[in-house]
Amino acid sequence: RVLFIAYNFPPHGGAGVQRSLKFVKYLPQFGWQPLVVTTTAEASPIQDPTLLQDIPPHTPITRIPGFSIFHLQQQAQKYRLHRLAVLLNVLLQIPDPTRFWAKKIQPTLDDLIRQHQPELIYTTSGPYSAHLAGRWLRQRTNLPWLADFRDPWSQNLLMPYAPGYRALNARLERQVLTTADKITCVSRPWLNDLQQNLGHSPGKFTVLPNGYDETDLETSPLPASGERFILTHIGSFYRNRRPDELIQAVEQLVAHGRVPAEKLLIRFIGKNAQRFAPDHPSFEAIDY
């Protein structure tokens, strides 16, 4: 058995759910029974109940509601305490807004350890607070712990520009990296950043890229010859992750007659998709 701590899990939707869901779906085929610890459905604004169909029957799932700090920020802003609102936003979100959830689940983790006696602890981020729960449990039980990183932590480009904020996160990150027995990451550059923070023990790091589930494609018909070529980006656009170069290249190809506009479709599916997609017949945007 593996104690599987994943804040983002169906019926939550979005890209961050897929990796955890597919692990839970296929781990039993390799002799591992996941014991999932996650939050409640309403904790995420993105919902996709269809993903529940991928969870193997009889998979133990424990759902624990979290504590939100957003109402504290709203109260501070209501009374024009802007500095306090900013301070709450920074101090109470180290490493992220789910830190109180990671603390709240500790008694439940203790109970699950006693009841099911798992052989392994698994945590996945973001949110990073899941790793704080994993570190606490590793030190408490001495069970081996695998920490999975789907996103950068202290080197994340979306981290708030507050004095000392990145340094505090780097310190927490280093504590997690030091304590974890194994560390997986979706890409080599991000893994290199983690290794640089730790400074040693390269043997504990492994690149485990994102993949795809072949069964998801079994009912998808192949496009007929002559139909539009469709290129789809699924994910969010933000500050330093923008499709500007792709848009420019497509517009130039169409303008110069290299590619007919009616034969090409670029789909942006995700947060801020409509904001970044140009008003062009070769582009389509779907926000979620």
- pLDDT band at residue 89, thresholds of 50, 70 and 90? low
Which residue ranges does the chain devote to CATH 3.40.50.2000?
2-207
pLDDT tens digits, one per residue of 42-64: 888 889 999 999 999 999 999 99
CA distance 198 to 171: 10
H-run or E-run covering 62: strand 61-63
Residue 161 pLDDT > 80: no
Query: C-alpha distances in angstroms, 105 versus 84, 95, 112, 139?
Result: 28, 16, 11, 16
Specify the fold of 2-207.
Rossmann fold (3.40.50)
Residue 225 pLDDT > 90: no
The residue type of 269 is I
Which residues have a Cβ under 8 Å from the Cβ of 116 and sit 6 or more positions away? Answer: 1, 3, 35, 60
Q: Quick count: other Cβ atoms within 10 Å of Cβ 175?
A: 13
Residue 234 pLDDT > 90: no
Q: What is the DSSP letter of 12?
A: B
CA distance 47 to 45: 6
Which residues have a Cβ under 8 Å from the Cβ of 140 and sit 6 or more positions away? Answer: 110
Q: Quick count: other Cβ atoms within 10 Å of Cβ 44?
A: 19
- Three-state DSSP string of 109-130: HHHHHHHHCCCEEEEEECCCHH
